[in-house]
Amino acid sequence: MENKKFLAFQIIYLLGLSFMLYLSIAVANEEAVLEPLAETNEEQNNMQTYIVWVKKPVQKYFFSKSHEDLESWYHTFLPTTIASSNQLKKPRMVHAYRNVATGFAAKLTPEEVKAMENKEGFLSAHPEQILPLHTTHSPNFLGLHQGLGVWKGSNYGEGVIIGVLDTGISPDHPSFSDEGVAPPPAKWKGKCDFNGTVCNNKLIGARNFQGGQTTGGPPVDDEGHGTHTSSTAAGNFVKGANVFGMANGTASGMAPYAHLAIYKVCSEEGCAEGDILAALDTAVEDGVDVLSLSLGGASVPFYADGIAIGAFGAIQKGIFVSCSAGNSGPFYASLANEAPWILTVGASTIDRSIKATALLGNGAEYDGESLFQPKDFSSKLLPLVYAGANGKQSSAFCDAGSLGNVEGAIVLCERGGGVARIDKGAEVKRAGGAAMILVNAETDGDSTLADPHVLPATHVGYVAGVKIKAYLNSTSSPAATILFKGTVIGDGLAPKITSFSSRGPSIASTGILKPDIIGPGVSILAAWPVSVDNGTEDETLKPADIFATGAGHVNPSKANDPGLIYDTKPEDYIPYLCGLNYTDEQIQVITQQRVNCSQVEAIPEAQLNYPSFSIIVGSSEDSKSQYYTRTVKNVGPANSTYNLDLFVPRNMGMSVNPEVLKFTEVNQEITFEAEFFAEDSAGKDGVPFAQGYLRWVSDQHSVTSPISVIFASK
């Protein structure tokens, strides 16, 4: 199971790599007015899909646990006028859930929902949320994976089933060939709604959940996003693609030998909450190991959040669920998928870059990005040439075969022209070039990407490109080089704010730090600013801390061998949910079991055994200490000793007890306590956030928990 978790971890940060599908909620019209019962037509117009949560049926009524029994129980909640007519009642029911939730989706009028509230066993209902697609991905990603591929110490995901909820899939893509992929494990019970021959040992399941049980049709991906997420997670090896690092010449997803099960829940118009739940419900029964969702809406409490509820049902069955955090821009508290039982992955583009700076012969520097960060690239100036110097458009775009000999030069290529960014670098390399500066077209503005280029490169914005071209024109011997600076968080002006400004804090649970990790390939857990906050230092992370040797990227075998884990079980969330002050019935919607919070020792949010800390310092509490414990489990060598390395957040005091963790057995657990207190200066400088980390270091492992502090009402 641990391996699966880390596999999921790997897959998921990749999902944030170059695209983001961000969905914001269009909450269904909540202003529906209660009107007297009208004629049938009007009534139908007034109908919308509601998600209805109910209690589990009392066992004595149900001798078997068959789906029919559960469905008939759900039907008892439908209005009697409808229930009496079989013909009318069938279309009302859109989805009946049986695994991850107790409840159903049905077409109802507000009056009918109101009437339902009095029925025994009813818990709650809300209009289905529609999560519209706001894609920001570029269309040319298909066929080119972000190329991590082979990783040591893994079995390439063999035997693991990854369920992807998205826009469907283009099954003919070479990434979904099953060459070298073993048949699915015997537990697999899913279905393929494509033509029989299309599914194979790679693509083992494909279903369409849109619009309930009546529609259907094969889950073809008209939009493109689902094909990308699926191939990034588990695309097979595709020979002849250009990627960097050790997988030279071969592209693949993170888990090339894993199986894929596709659940179509989105179209260009969006993703319906009821369909998402139905897909989660089915995926759990089908036998997936990992669920991946690159969609989500604005914050709602967990008991009214279909994804959070469905995900809880999934983790109860040991399935790992990861979701995108949303690409929310520079706004606080704009995060999707905040539940702590979900791995929330930020696709950071706002305040984090993997920096590669173009340095010109005149001394000017222009910051750009590249995921490929060669360590040994000389800062010696190279001759700079414009790819389009021959006047040909195709050369300006560095199209395949368009360049003449550019031996040893640094070549400036234009973005666009239907040529994938990485392919441009491949052409420069083919023509003998030593490096590439990729410049945006005016329409691209300053939006750059950290790509896994095949040679030293930097991708700069439009304005920088214009200036570099002007320099090219201004001298007879233009020269340039690239300075690789690794991951940089923040813009240097307000480093305390920027590292998590664009996404957190979580609204639904401020005491949990979200997102859990940010892409591409940089997890918050592994990468945190190490600067001291005295304004002189920069907040550059040392590339060596983040990137693996050679690949210039996270070290997969390290992630596969973490040393210590924070092991949280489904039942551990009950005291946490009680601590959120949810009612027993609200918690029951999530857990599907009766919970009595007055018999539970509730915990504050920050006390959940989470691998990070989100501390809130209120004005009344600034002099008080807050204490939280964490329990870590040794999954490394039996005899392991970990020493504390603490980076105390600015304006805070901290202590940790004990400061040494001495393990003598595998799976041994040790609990430590962290004390946090605000100093007098806290919050008085107008900076409402601070950050730091707590790290356990042994001779083989380093386990880092980020700490965020919010100075509330200061």
Ligand X SMILES: *[C@@H]1O[C@H](CO)[C@@H](O)[C@H](O)[C@H]1NC(C)=O
| Interface residues toward ligand X, by CB under 6 A | 195, 248-249, 466, 469-470, 473, 532, 534, 536-537, 580-581, 596, 598-599, 638-639, 664
| Residue 626 tokens, joined | 């807050």
Give yes or no for a contact between 193 and 236, defined as CB atoms under 8 angstroms apart: no
We find the least distance from the C-beta atom of residue 216 to ligand X, in angstroms, to be 12
Closer to ligand X by Cβ: residue 43 or 178: 178
How far is 169 from 524, CA to CA, in rounded Å? 30
Q: How far is the CB of 386 from ligand X (least distance, A)?
A: 8
Residue 110 or residue 374: which is nearer to ligand X going by CB?
374
CB atoms within 10 A of CB 601: 9
Name the minimum Å distance from CB 595 to ligand X: 9
The smaller minimum CB distance to ligand X, of residues 41 and 536, is found at: 536
Minimum distance of ligand X from residue 596's CB (angstroms): 4
Rounded CA separation 96/589 (Å): 15
The nearest distance, CB 466 to ligand X, in angstroms, is 6
Shortest distance (Å) from residue 361 CB to ligand X: 16
Query: CB-wise, 23 or 580, nearer to ligand X?
Result: 580
* Among the listed residues 317, 328, 481, the one whose alpha carbon sits nearest the alpha carbon of residue 409: 481
Q: Toward ligand X, which CB reaches closer, 163 or 552?
A: 552
- The DSSP call for residue 105 is E
Least distance (Å) between residue 389 CB and ligand X: 9
Q: How far is the CB of 510 from ligand X (least distance, A)?
A: 8
- What the block records as the tokens of 512 is 């949990």
Residue 46, classified by CB atoms within 10 Å of its CB into exposed (0-12), middle (13-18) or buried (19+), is middle
Contact between residue 413 and residue 386 where contact means Cβ atoms under 8 Å apart: no
DSSP reduced 3-state for 49: strand
- Cβ proximity to ligand X: between 64 and 599 the closer is 599
Contact 22, 134 (CB under 8 A): yes
Q: Which CB sits closer to ligand X, 39 or 601?
A: 601
In the complex, least distance from residue 59 CB atom to ligand X, rounded to whole angstroms = 17
- Of the two residues 98 and 264, which places its CB atom closer to ligand X in the complex? 264
For ligand X, which is the closer residue by CB, 501 or 640?
A: 640
Q: What are phi and psi of 148, to 5 degrees?
A: -95, -45
CB of 691 to ligand X, least distance (A): 15
238's tokens: 């595709």
Q: Following CA atoms 576, 580, 585, 590 in sequence, which dihedral angle do they give, to the nearest 10 degrees?
A: -50
Q: Which is nearer to ligand X, 158 or 193 (CB)?
A: 193
C-alpha to C-alpha distance for 147 and 237, rounded to whole angstroms:
10
Q: 57: helix, coil or strand? A: coil
CB of 689 to ligand X, least distance (A): 19
CA distances from 555 to 160, 526, 632 (A): 21, 10, 22
Instruction: Report in angstroms how near the CB of residue 502 gets to ligand X at its nearest.
Output: 24
Rank residues 249 and 404 by Cβ distance to ligand X and give the closer one: 249
Sole residue written with tokens 């959070």: 308
Residue 678 main-chain phi, psi, to 5 deg: -85, 140
- Orientation of helix 306-316 relative to helix 584-591, angle to 10°: 60
If the CB atoms of residues 27 and 463 are measured against ligand X, the closer one turns out to be 463
Q: Report DSSP letters for 176-236, one per residue.
A: G--TTPPPPPTT----B-S-TTT--SSEEEEEE-TTSSS-----B-SSSHHHHHHHHHHPP
Amino acid at residue number 384: L
Rounded distance between C-alpha atoms, residue 670 and residue 656, angstroms: 13
Residue 103, H or E segment:
strand 103-108
